[in-house]
Amino acid sequence: MLIWVAIAAATIIPMFKLLPHFGMNQYWALFCVLPVGTIVLLWIMAMKLQELEKR
């Protein structure tokens, strides 16, 4: 469990800074506590990045 807490903290801190650049509220980074949450947020960020590249 301690390992997961360390991994979650290591992903939440950068997400606080990255999510506002993708038009999302920075507090969505707390969703990274769940394993599925990290995957979903990365997927959403990738989709928004593809939209930005098309422009």
Domain count within the chain: 1
pLDDT of residue 28: 85
pLDDT of residue 36: 87
pLDDT tens over the chain, length 55 residues: 788 878 888 888 888 888 888 888 888 888 888 878 888 888 998 999 999 888 7
Q: Which residues of 6-41 are buried (b: 16+ CB within 10 A; e: fewer)?
A: eebeebbeebeeebeebebeeebbeebeeeebbeeb
Q: What is the pLDDT of residues 36-45, one digit of tens each?
A: 888 888 899 8
By residue range, what is the domain housing residue 33? 2-54
